[in-house]
């Protein structure tokens, strides 16, 4: 049985739900891409005790556990080790030589989900003798995802595709050098955690995150509408140093945004940009 009402009622109920979340807790989902958001809220509803979206609101206002469950449902945590290996390969070959000119390197993974991309990047930095001079900040609005990333314990299923992606990304050693297996889990080498700081940060409502030499915000903007994409791009641009490197996902772009003239395109295919205008 479909619990969601007709389209008119659904839109009203979703607007009320998002406004309640924002007014009570400060999480702003109002400008997320509506088709994706509607689908995720619908999935939450189907797996809940509630008969309508409107029924969720009173409990959400009174119980922070309902909020956390809702955030987990709305947040996108899809990721994998060396996702889009061509991006990692090009970054290793073209961007890392440039980074070697800096005595210290600040890196921000914005919207890091459960951290697989963060550790993938850290392995590359280690192999290129850059890791020891890096301060790596990895953030996500989903506290549960951040905690998983901190623990660095993942299902063993990630290894098959991770090993193949690592090879395609130009990995220089054996992927097994960077983790060990225990039962049905994979535990990332603790040495890769030393220079990584994981924390919660909301790209929609929080401010700049230090001054960075490289920012990776991959496969996050696709879940925002155009206005919110531009707002977040302005925040990330302000957080990036002059001549800093900015990386987006394959389906994302800075074209037609208010910051497009601030950047030079280094890779149109892999969406790698260099900031050429001071802000």
Q: Tens digits of per-residue pLDDT, 172-195?
A: 999 999 999 988 999 999 999 999
Pairing of strands 272-275, 240-248: antiparallel
pLDDT at residue 106, as a whole number:
98
For 81-100, write each residue's pLDDT tens digit.
999 999 999 999 999 999 99
pLDDT at residue 91, as a whole number:
97
CA distance 200 to 145: 9
Q: How many CB atoms lie within 10 A of CB 133?
A: 14
- pTM of structure: 0.88
Residue environment code for 66-91, b if the CB has 16+ CB neighbours within 10 A, otherwise e: bbebbbeebbbbebbbbbbbbbbbbb
71 pLDDT more than 80: yes
Q: What structural domains and CATH numbers belong to the chain? A: 7-74 (no CATH), 85-275 (3.40.50.150)
């Amino acid at each position: 049985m479909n619990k969601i009402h007709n389209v008119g009622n659904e839109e009203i109920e979703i607007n009320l739900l998002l406004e309640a979340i924002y007014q009570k807790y400060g999480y702003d989902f109002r400008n997320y891409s509506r088709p994706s958001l509607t689908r995720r809220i619908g999935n939450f509803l189907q797996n809940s005790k509630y008969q309508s979206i409107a029924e969720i609101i009173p409990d959400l206002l009174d119980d922070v556990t309902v909020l956390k469950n809702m955030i987990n449902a709305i947040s996108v945590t899809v990721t994998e080790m060396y996702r889009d290996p061509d991006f990692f390969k090009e970054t290793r070959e073209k961007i890392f030589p440039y980074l070697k000119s800096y005595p210290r390197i600040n890196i921000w993974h914005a919207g890091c989900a459960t951290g697989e991309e963060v550790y993938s990047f850290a392995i590359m930095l280690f192999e290129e003798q850059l890791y020891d001079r890096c301060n790596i900040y990895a953030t996500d609005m989903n506290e549960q995802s951040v905690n998983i990333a901190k623990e660095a314990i993942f299902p063993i299923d990630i290894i098959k595709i991770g090993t193949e992606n690592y090879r395609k990304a130009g990995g220089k050693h054996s992927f097994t050098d960077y983790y060990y297996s225990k039962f049905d889990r994979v535990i990332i080498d603790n040495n890769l955690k030393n220079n990584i700081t994981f924390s919660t940060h909301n790209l929609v409502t929080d401010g700049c995150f230090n001054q960075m030499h490289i920012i990776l915000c991959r496969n996050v903007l696709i879940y925002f509408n155009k206005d919110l994409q531009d707002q977040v791009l302005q925040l990330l641009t302000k957080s990036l140093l002059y001549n800093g490197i900015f990386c987006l996902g394959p389906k994302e772009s800075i074209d037609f945004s208010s910051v497009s003239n601030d950047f030079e395109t280094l890779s149109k295919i892999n969406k790698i940009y260099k900031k050429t205008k001071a802000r």
